Structure 1
Amino acid sequence: MTHNQETDRKKLGTPFEKRLTTPETALSKIKPGDHIFVGSVCATPRALIQVLEALEGNLFDVELFHFLTDGAVGKKEGVFSTRFRHRVFFVGTDMREAVKQGQADYVPICISQVPHMINSGGMCVDVALIQTSLPDEHGFVSLGVSVDIAKAAVNKAGTVIAEINPNMPNTFGDSHIHIDQIDHMVMVETPVIEYIHPPADAVGEQIARYVARIIEDGSTLQVGLGRITNEMLKYLTNRKDLGFHSDVITEPIVDLIEKGVVTGKAKTVHREKIVCSYCMGTRRLYNLIDRNPMFSFHPIDYVCNPAILSAIPKFISVSQAFAVDLTGQVCTDQFKGEFYGGVSTQSEFLKGAANSPGGKPIICLSSTTEDGSESRIRSLLREGEGVSIPRSDVHYVVTEYGIAYLFGKTIRERTLSLIEIAHPNFREQLLDEAKELGYVREGQTLKSRVAYPAEEEREVTLKNGTKVLIRPSKASDVKELQEVFYDMSKEDIYTRFFSQLKSLSVSAAEHLCNVDYENEMSFMAIAGDRGKNHIVGSACYYLDPSTNLAEVAYMIRPEYQSVGLGGALQKRMMEYARERGLQGFTAYILKENKKMIRLASSGFSNVEIEKSFNEYEVTMFF
């Protein structure tokens, strides 16, 4: 108990004490057939649940319903055991066995819809079991670390029974109820339940790094439950003015606040406030949120309100998934036929991020199961893997092999993008299955058998101040590369291809971007934010093993010529080639292509130029 809580309790005196009773007395009026709400997460009223399980008498057909809990089902000899039916909106660790054994029924519903069901009478609440802080001098208690659906349950319940815990933080926002709404109060002085996500493994760390890379200064984050999403927060320590508007906040937020990363100054809704519905952490986090006006706790339906989410600039939602198919359908609450996790709030937050100016909806998952035996990127979701996020709502998908952007893409483009971030061991199989399904053309190939070399990405600033990302090419770049071709002038096409090409076929474009990253390499220059970006230039080389020299070629959009993009692409290719022991580059350049001749003559230790009828054969040594 903190000093302030002890002071509050002394101020309350006898009137407060007279309202207290024992758990047995408080629960004695429960009748057969009652529907009992159980408080959520780290505010799970464990003491009341334990007494309820032990009560004698006729409690047939009593049903407990709840969101994510910790201790809603007790243990006997180390095995989860309960005498009641449970209706659950999230299959957490303490409910998995109960669901498997048929003692609990999973309801696949977005948790933000539950308050509406309660308020409309679609879900009956006879009794609400909650845990709160001590009353303040005005007779209000705080729902503390877990507001979520509890407030709706309290407002509708016939009987409200509260564990009053001096250790429960007093959180601000819309988190208070008056003691007149509580029928029975039971004093408990146990530590508030603490939870820390287990550390992510090496795969999870790599995914977390990829996700962190696309989070900009001034973004507002929603970070769902999961090891990877929480690991990602550790890689944001160099960002500025991040905000939070999330269903849940967890322990890593403390470090970000202490380092000055989270300020909320860029938010337009609840500026400089951390908005959430519940939190999971240690006493360190609970001490931080206690009576701290920086934090604003609200019911889950308010936190997920689409109108609010879409009004937040740069709103980013990060969620984990179990599996995704090649069309982009995502399963988040079921794996191999077993229910685990839940729909939770993912769909609302993803749509909110999609509608936010500069927002980013992100789904992340490891490329394989933990033992590496199965790909989590499937050609088709399997029987027992329900679609919780439709393909039309999916934007970013991230694995340890990179980032795929799917929104607005064709089935072929989605398929190639997802195969490229699948584990290399499964790419050939996925490509074959995609051909059988008609997702890609029969002649489609993927030359690379290694992971996409994300570490080779570089951001450069051109002479005119424009920033572009120079990254390794992907097989899915074909369409955009064709668009670069059609944006070029006839003169540029002639000097690049030595002929008056009228079109760039799919196979020709594939030759320029579908490379093996070893003997062949291609870089793309990307302008604009991910999701709204476009290719503005490309460079590629093809190694001749007999000479250890690679032939190079470039394509650059007209508006990006003469601003240093060609030089930046050449420098990036030279760095990559040197690291692989290449001796240099060769190029065939038309005599009238003065810009390319100047480019080929710069940055090399020795340049040899041989003239022929209407072209130069240039050899550039490192």
Structure 2
Amino acid sequence: MVMAKFVTAQEAVQYIHSGDRVALAHSVGEPQALVNAMLDNYQAYQQVEICHMLALGPCKYTRPEMAGHFWHNSLFAGPGSRDAVNEGRADYTPNLFGESPRLFYEGFLPIDVALITLSPPDERGYCSYGVTVDYTKCITECAKLVIAQINRYMPRTYGDTLVHIDDIDLAVECDEPLFHRPILPVGEIEERIGQHCASLIEDGAAIQLGIGTIPDAILHFLGEKNDLGVHSEMLCDGALGLLKAGNINNSRKQINKGVSVVTYLYGRDELYEYAHLNPKLQIFPVNYVNDPRIIGQNDNVVSVNSALSVDLIGQVAADAISADKIFSGAGGFVDFVRGASFSKGGKSIIAMPSTAMGGKASRIVDQFEAGRPVTLSRFETHYVVTEYGIAQLRGKTLRQRAQALIAIAHPSFRDQLKEAYERRFKEPYPS
């Protein structure tokens, strides 16, 4: 093993060479000082590929003036990279979050340089990946060169989170606050969706929730539930109240009993402080947390994911608006839908407002336009929830599915959906 060499950020990025593929740690684990130093040095590079999933930084390497110096390969098009992908200034690689480590471990995307964030080492020399283990552990193990920003703001967490300082090639000591999740107000529509979803979550359920106002609203309505568990891709601040009050205690889980299990956190200081040296919250690589075979070992898994649109036979579009307009990525969507299917008593919920574009478009549509990517097939959709109610699709015929979905569409669009029903099924819509 090579002893880590402590250098400045400017010295560290001199080891990145033209033509390298550079993988950035995911989400909150993005090493801001290293990324900024690399950007400052952009004129020294030609065709350096930047590869990552959800980026919380501004993604300046996608800007037009960086053309020829950097090329972005997005595994999940977030706000900072979405325009570049859709304007042809970056690429998008479809993948499932739970399988993303295979891209690196099995050589589909060989990594030259990994840029990561770690906590300071303990007395034995072990650093912690902190709140982002996900695929970050994988790129550390696969990259030819590993450069770590050692940041005292990164908590030390339990789970599979340790790496020895000897296994880091270059280390840069730079303390800076971690990314914070913006807190957005929960509106009336989100509250109604949250209440409907919460009605499907029973005592003892193992829950998975994502990011956004709908998950926040769901958590608000779980205060009367007991013995909930967490086996989730990620965890946000909204769960803290339930964790501290004991509504979430993981006592009925079949695996990781008594422990909340996630692959990353995204919140604010209170959440990161809660995670620090807390054995009741453990963080593991994404190829464990998001493996449907692992998820399904818990009973009564309830997975809640958002979507862009659902058609009348139950197909779900969650990552693309059209054939040539990427919105995000699959992330852990499919992983947890399948995990819930494997779970005894499991439920998968697709939760979304009934309209988009300020009410001008229905999210429940007759059919998707030609070429629009389908994230989830009709065979895997369990529940669809809008502010107007719950459509349970499992075991339903195509006619029954269409009727259930029309019933929870926005009233302004129900008549045209009923007309589409009559054209498709050659019968009057039931009164």
Which of 321, 325, 340 is the matching residue for 1:338?
Answer: 325
Cα distance in 2 between the residues matched to 1:56 and 1:263: 48
Equivalent positions of 1:119-130 (< 5 A) are 119-130=105-116
Which of 137, 141, 146 is the matching residue for 2:132?
Answer: 146
Deviation sequence 1:197-240 (CA, Å, 0-9, x none): 42232111110110011101111111122321232111101111
Deviation sequence 1:251-292 (CA, Å, 0-9, x none): 011111122111001111000101000000110000000011
Q: For residue 259 of structure 1, what is the aligned residue in structure 2?
A: 245
Secondary structure of the residue that 1:392 maps to in structure 2?
A: coil
Secondary structure of the residue that 1:49 maps to in structure 2?
A: helix
Q: 1:203 to 1:81 in 2, by over 3 A?
A: farther
Deviation sequence 1:146-168 (CA, Å, 0-9, x none): 11101111101000000100110
The answer to whether residue 27 in structure 2 is matched with residue 54 in structure 1 is: no
Q: 1:333 to 1:56 in 2, by over 3 A?
A: closer
8 Å CA contact 1:112, 1:301 repeated in 2 = yes
Aligned residue type for 1:346: F
8 Å CA contact 1:196, 1:280 repeated in 2 = no
The answer to whether residue 154 in structure 2 is matched with residue 177 in structure 1 is: no
Which of 398, 405, 410 is the matching residue for 2:397?
Answer: 410
Aligned residue type for 2:428: G
Secondary structure of the residue that 1:137 maps to in structure 2?
A: coil
Alpha-carbon deviation of 1:382?
Answer: 2.4
User: Percent sequence identity over matched residues?
Assistant: 35
The answer to whether residue 139 in structure 2 is matched with residue 134 in structure 1 is: no
Q: For residue 428 of structure 1, what is the aligned residue in structure 2?
A: 415
Deviation sequence 1:72-109 (CA, Å, 0-9, x none): 61399xx8974511111111111122223322212221
Which of 336, 340, 353 is the matching residue for 1:353?
Answer: 340
Alpha-carbon deviation of 1:67?
Answer: 0.9
8 Å CA contact 2:153, 2:177 repeated in 1 = yes
Deviation sequence 1:469-517 (CA, Å, 0-9, x none): xxxxxxxxxxxxxxxxxxxxxxxxxxxxxxxxxxxxxxxxxxxxxxxxx
Deviation sequence 1:162-208 (CA, Å, 0-9, x none): 01001100011001111111111111111111113422321111101
Q: 1:81 to 1:319 in 2, by over 3 A?
A: farther
8 Å CA contact 1:147, 1:297 repeated in 2 = yes
Q: For residue 96 of structure 1, what is the aligned residue in structure 2?
A: 82
Cα distance in 2 between the residues matched to 1:138 and 1:242: 36
The answer to whether residue 385 in structure 2 is matched with residue 398 in structure 1 is: yes
Equivalent positions of 1:606-621 (< 5 A) are none
8 Å CA contact 2:320, 2:372 repeated in 1 = yes
The answer to whether residue 335 in structure 2 is matched with residue 365 in structure 1 is: no
Cα distance in 1 between the residues matched to 2:112 and 2:26: 17
Secondary structure of the residue that 1:86 maps to in structure 2?
A: strand
Deviation sequence 1:17-69 (CA, Å, 0-9, x none): x8321111111121111000001111211111111111155411110100101
Structure of higher RCO (CA pairs closer than 8 Å, 6+ residues apart):
2
Q: For residue 288 of structure 1, what is the aligned residue in structure 2?
A: 274
Q: For residue 41 of structure 1, what is the aligned residue in structure 2?
A: 27
Which of 168, 176, 189 is the matching residue for 1:190?
Answer: 176
Aligned residue type for 1:355: F
Cα distance in 1 between the residues matched to 2:230 and 2:64: 35
Aligned residue type for 1:68: L
Alpha-carbon deviation of 1:386?
Answer: 1.4
Q: CA RMSD in A?
A: 1.8
8 Å CA contact 2:61, 2:72 repeated in 1 = no
Q: For residue 304 of structure 1, what is the aligned residue in structure 2?
A: 290
TM-score, normalised via structure 2 length? 0.95
Alpha-carbon deviation of 1:384?
Answer: 5.9
Alpha-carbon deviation of 1:426?
Answer: 0.8
Aligned residue type for 1:413: Q
Cα distance in 2 between the residues matched to 1:30 and 1:403: 52
The answer to whether residue 50 in structure 2 is matched with residue 64 in structure 1 is: yes
Secondary structure of the residue that 2:241 maps to in structure 1?
A: helix
Cα distance in 2 between the residues matched to 1:86 and 1:301: 23
Secondary structure of the residue that 1:371 maps to in structure 2?
A: helix
Q: For residue 86 of structure 1, what is the aligned residue in structure 2?
A: 72
Q: 1:191 to 1:274 in 2, by over 3 A?
A: same
8 Å CA contact 1:328, 1:394 repeated in 2 = yes
Cα distance in 2 between the residues matched to 1:189 and 1:387: 42
Which of 351, 368, 372 is the matching residue for 1:381?
Answer: 368
Aligned residue type for 1:213: S
Cα distance in 2 between the residues matched to 1:432 and 1:195: 43
Alpha-carbon deviation of 1:409?
Answer: 1.2
Q: For residue 215 of structure 1, what is the aligned residue in structure 2?
A: 201
Cα distance in 2 between the residues matched to 1:39 and 1:80: 23
Number of equivalent positions:
426
Cα distance in 1 between the residues matched to 2:64 and 2:260: 36
Looking at CA atoms only, which structure, 1 or 2, has the larger radius of gyration? Answer: 1
The ranges of structure 1 where at least 4 consecutive aligned residues each deviate by more than 3 angstroms after the TM superposition are 79-83
Secondary structure of the residue that 1:324 maps to in structure 2?
A: strand
Cα distance in 2 between the residues matched to 1:75 and 1:339: 19
The answer to whether residue 147 in structure 2 is matched with residue 161 in structure 1 is: yes
The answer to whether residue 216 in structure 2 is matched with residue 230 in structure 1 is: yes
Secondary structure of the residue that 1:186 maps to in structure 2?
A: strand
Secondary structure of the residue that 2:176 maps to in structure 1?
A: coil
8 Å CA contact 2:97, 2:290 repeated in 1 = no
Alpha-carbon deviation of 1:124?
Answer: 0.8
The answer to whether residue 79 in structure 2 is matched with residue 74 in structure 1 is: no
Q: Which runs of 5+ in 1 are unaligned?
A: 1-15, 447-622
Q: Which runs of 5+ in 2 are unaligned?
A: none
Q: For residue 443 of structure 1, what is the aligned residue in structure 2?
A: 428
Cα distance in 2 between the residues matched to 1:81 and 1:377: 40
Alpha-carbon deviation of 1:444?
Answer: 2.3
TM-score, normalised via structure 1 length? 0.66
Cα distance in 1 between the residues matched to 2:181 and 2:307: 21
Alpha-carbon deviation of 1:315?
Answer: 0.7
Aligned residue type for 1:32: S
Cα distance in 2 between the residues matched to 1:53 and 1:103: 17
Deviation sequence 1:406-441 (CA, Å, 0-9, x none): 112111010101001111111110011122223xx4
Secondary structure of the residue that 1:42 maps to in structure 2?
A: helix
Secondary structure of the residue that 1:255 maps to in structure 2?
A: helix
8 Å CA contact 1:44, 1:72 repeated in 2 = no
Q: For residue 587 of structure 1, what is the aligned residue in structure 2?
A: none
Cα distance in 2 between the residues matched to 1:88 and 1:43: 16
8 Å CA contact 2:61, 2:70 repeated in 1 = no
Aligned residue type for 1:320: S
